[in-house]
Amino acid sequence: MTDADTATFEQLTEAEAGSPVLIEGLPGHGLVASIAVDHLTRQLGLEHHGNIHSDAFPPAITFEDGLVRDPVRVYAGVSPDVLTLKSDLAIPPGAFRPLSRCVLNDLSSEFERAIFLAGAPAGSEGEVGEVNGVATTAELKGELEAAGIDLGVEPGLVGGVTGALIRECYHEGVPAVVLIVKAHPYLPDPKAARSVIENALEPLVDFDIDTEELREQGDEIKRRMEQIAEQYRRTAEERPAQDETAARMYQ
């Protein structure tokens, strides 16, 4: 096994939460996960808990407010007990398995269950923001129904880094759900992010997030996220042909 086949978690703070839920916010269709998780991380005042490193990640560093930072980061907080997983860069296919194994090996002891967000290309403007849920256990399926979230009943496939993460959770017995959100396939979509927060994350996690900023600052959020969106477009175009032609694939 080479360094590029592994990823490691660098913990910066002690987790104080009892049994938090992990919410994944990695770049995908419409950057729905990235926008939603970035927003709730700031709204909840979550603390930078650690970083994930891998030679399989792009050789880059990001910066904000005059300071450099690692692109793939984990945040944590209490009341509610939440962990978030974020990335400033699109995750390349070669890093899917190292990242997912790191999350299960190094982080799973810190969270009770996981929520993954998968963007699905909207066929029309009217479909933007529609949410369907899929669960790894019957208990979580019941929670989706109780929260009023439509179930993904048609056969489908979740691919990309989200698919790798949910597969690891499923096989390792970590309870998890996938929220499939209709969004613009490539352009940053704050409207879809707002919908998944209000209609799915809030009832599932039992927190209250003010999403008005996503409505009022939609154009600014799109501009800020466009660099990640462009990198995601390039990464998606480099994937094998079967990834692009698989029926009903969400990433």
What is the residue extent of each domain of the chain? 3-250
Percent of the chain clearing pLDDT 90 (strictly above): 67
Provide the token pair at 120: 């699905």
CA 9 to chain CA centroid, Å, is: 17
> pLDDT category, 246, cuts 50, 70, 90?
very low
Cα separation, 207 vs 198, in Å, equals 10
The matching CATH number, chosen from 3.40.50.970, 1.10.10.10, 3.40.50.10900, 3.30.1540.20, for 3-250 is: 3.40.50.10900
pLDDT 10s digits, 210-242: 999 998 888 888 888 888 888 787 777 765 433
Length of the chain: 251
Q: What is the DSSP string of 100-138?
A: HHHIIIIIGGG-SEEEEEEEEE-SSGGGTT-EEEEESSH
Residue 244 pLDDT greater than 60, yes or no: no
Q: What is the helix (H) or strand (E) element at residue 62, kind and residue range?
A: strand 62-64
Q: What is the pTM of this model?
A: 0.89
What pLDDT score was predicted for residue 1?
Answer: 52
pLDDT 10s digits, 115-167: 999 999 998 889 999 999 999 999 999 999 999 999 998 888 899 999 999 99
